[in-house]
Every structure is written in structure tokens, then in C-alpha cells.
Amino acid sequence: MGVQFLELAGIATVAVPGLDVVGASEWTFDATGDYDSALLRTGDGLTAIARRPRGEAAVQEQLAQRRALAAISAGVRSRLPFAVPTPLGSFTGRQQQLDVLAFIPGRTCDRVELPHDSLLVAEIGRAIGAIHALPKSFVVEAGLPVLGAEEAREATAALIDRAVATERLPQALAQRWRAAVDDDSMWGFVPSVIHGSLERGSFVTNGAGVVGVLGWSDLGIGDPAQDMRWVQTLDGAVQRAVLDEYADARGASVDRQLRQRSVLYAELELARWLLHGAESGDETVIADAEQLLDGLLTRVRQLGAAELRHETLPVLDVIEVQELLAEAGTKARHHEANLPRRSAAGETGEVDVDLDDAVPAAPGPGTAGAEAPRRDASGPDASGPDAPR
């Protein structure tokens, strides 16, 4: 394992003809990760990351990201106030594939504090707004997914039906979610360009503001509330600050029910985790999902919030529910059997690693709760605060 980064460096020179690699270091070779990756330094001072998927789900994710990044032209990038990973080259052989991307310096925001009154929190809200303000034409022309309001509603109803079919979903939660789907006022939004799988670790910061956004394999047109789902896991004050900055950035384009739908999508991450367990036959995951669902139901009942209406929204300002959604959302996004979510990890991180030393990074912490492979263990999450410098 100690020389795998050299293997990736060698493949990278095939993926990017003329690439002059003068230094390399392991970035992640975690046994539970879905990617092997290595940091590379070139003779002209460029830092790049080479990523090789370890399983079929990661292979498909990487292919989807290739298509998405190819669609994000220089003109589209110029509209964004942050960097998007730049593809340098790719290699596909009979037994493996590898992508080489320009490395975005910084730390992902799951590794830093988010004070509600900070510039970073404000820029997160504005960054999401900038994504949603992009012209839809480039997505359509690239043949990326397009989902209208009614289609989003139908897809949500189908997800709930699948969860109900497991006979393990509390009836009260099924009723709560179905009532939201049946509420016409919830679904009168105008679709926009969406990132599709935003999470706290998608944002890269230089310590002050947002300098990059990662994990673009779910890029498409759809419900902007999908990109606000992860916000529901934040502290209430931070949550409001992000939403306020987003609303200021989008102006009249923000629909009145965006937060309600983001709450619904956040809660449905627990259903996705249940489905992953049921469809993979993993009783440990099923038991974990049932416990999380019971916890959510308990909190909802304690607050008398049986329905997803405006006056019940503070339910997700309660710390216990935030923790439930954060834990289950991470698991579900990365492991849903039929529609795996994409992780951004592994495309960036701190760049003050000494590539010449070639010291392997420490493996990242395990997933809380039931054991399940993470989509990717690379990036700052894998290297940890004591990564080699």
C-alpha cells in the first residue's frame, strides 16, 4: 500500500500527456473509502489530485462528474464567485479509471467552525444563490438531468411509497410526508440549476470566505430546495443566516415554500437510509434507520408538529433533530441503493502537505452508527488535523 500513490502518479502521466510529476504523496487509501487518491506536484508548480474509484458506485459517480465538469465551461465558471474543480485529464482502462483534477487549496467547511455572523456563512448562502442563478441552457445542452416541479413532487411521493412498502416506517411520519406532497402550495416553484448533492463538506474555505465548491456529479435542473436540505442540520442561527443571504442573492426568484421543502427533503434522508438497509438486506442498517426515525417522530410529537406547515418549521431548530438529520443524511446520501449520492471529499484540502516526504495521511474517523463504506475518504476528512505538512 505504501507505494500506491506512485502507481497513481504513473497513471496520471498517461491521463495527462506531458504531465511532469516531481512530487507525490498519498491522499487517501482508507480501507472504507470509495477512492484511492494521491496529491501530485508538477514541475511548473501545479498541484493536482489523482482519484481512482474503488467500486462500481464510485465509478459511476466519477463518470457523472466528468460529464458535469465538461459542461461547466469557462463562461459558466466566470459567473461563479468560487472555483470549480478543473479536469486536467482522465484515463479509462479495462480494469480501472482515473481522473486528474487541479487541486483547490483550502479546507472543507465540515472541518471549520461556522459562526452565524461570519463572512464564511454569508458566502455559503451567496454561493448557493450563484449556482441557482446560472443559465439553464448549458445543462440542457449537455444532456444532464432535468426535473420539473411536478416531476420532483412525483419522485418524492415515490420515495415515500418505497419507504412505506418496507413496513418499517412509522405511520405518523408517512402521513406527515404525504401531507406535504399533497399540499399544492408546496410545489409551485420554478426549477433552477442545482448542484444536486450539496453538503457542508462541499464548500472549500481559505479561512475567510468560500473559495471552491466540490462534488458536481449530480449537477442538473431541479428543485432549488434540494440544495438547501443540508442547511437544516445546522445550528438554528447559522441556518437562518445562510437562508437570509441566499434570499438576498436570489431576490424575487426565491419561492415562499423553499424552506418547507428543504425540511421535507432533510427528513426524507432518514427514509433513504432505511431503504438502503432494506434493499441491501442489512439488518444493522435497518435497525439504525428505525432508531433514527423513531427519534425524529418523538421530537415531532413533543413539539406538536405533525404537519410540515410554516408554523411547524422551528422543529428543525431543535438540536436533537438536527443531530438525527445530520447523521442519517450523511449515511443516506452516500449509500442509498438505487440512487447513490455523491460525496465531494477527495478533491481538495490543505495544500501545505510536503509532497516530497511522501508520508501517508492518517485514515479518517469511522462513520458513527452502523458501519458502511464511505463514498470517499479523501480530502481533509481523511488526512485529519495532523496531516503531514
Please state which of the four CATH numbers 3.30.200.20, 3.40.50.300, 3.40.50.720, 2.40.30.10 is assigned to the domain occupying 4-107+349-383: 3.30.200.20
* Distances, alpha carbon 2 to alpha carbons 15, 22, 47, 169, in Å: 22, 18, 21, 45
Question: Rounded to an integer, what distance in angstroms lies between the CA atom of residue 55 and that of residue 77?
Answer: 30
Across 76-80, 146-150, 186-190, 384-388, least confident range = 384-388
Highest mean pLDDT among 26-40, 52-66, 103-117, 142-156: 142-156
Neighbours of 308 (CB within 10 A): 22
Residues 47-96 have pLDDT tens digits of 999 999 988 889 999 999 999 999 999 999 999 999 999 999 999 988 88
Helix (H, G, I), strand (E, B) or coil at 22: strand
The whole-number pLDDT of residue 67 equals 96
Question: Rounded to an integer, what distance in angstroms lies between the CA atom of residue 331 and that of residue 164?
Answer: 19
Helices and strands of the chain, counted as H and E runs? 12, 12
Residues 358-369 have pLDDT tens digits of 222 222 322 333
Of 379, 344, 350, nearest in space to 364 by CA: 379
The whole-number pLDDT of residue 115 equals 93
**Domain boundaries defined on the chain:** 4-107+349-383, 110-335
pTM of the model: 0.80
134 and 76 Cβ atoms separated by less than 8 Å: yes
- The C-alpha cell at 54 is 474503488
Residue 152 or 345, more confident: 152
Q: Where are the alpha helices (DSSP H) in 97-202?
A: 119-132, 137-141, 149-165, 171-182
Residues 222-272 have pLDDT tens digits of 999 999 999 998 988 999 999 999 999 998 888 889 999 999 999 999 999
The whole-number pLDDT of residue 209 equals 94
* Distances, alpha carbon 51 to alpha carbons 64, 125, 380, in Å: 14, 29, 15
Determine the residue type at 363. Answer: P
At residue 325, does pLDDT exceed 50?
Answer: yes
* CATH 3.20.20.140 given to domain 110-335: no
At residue 337, does pLDDT exceed 80?
Answer: no
Residue 154 or 386, more confident: 154
CA 115, 246, 351 angle in degrees (round to 5)? 55
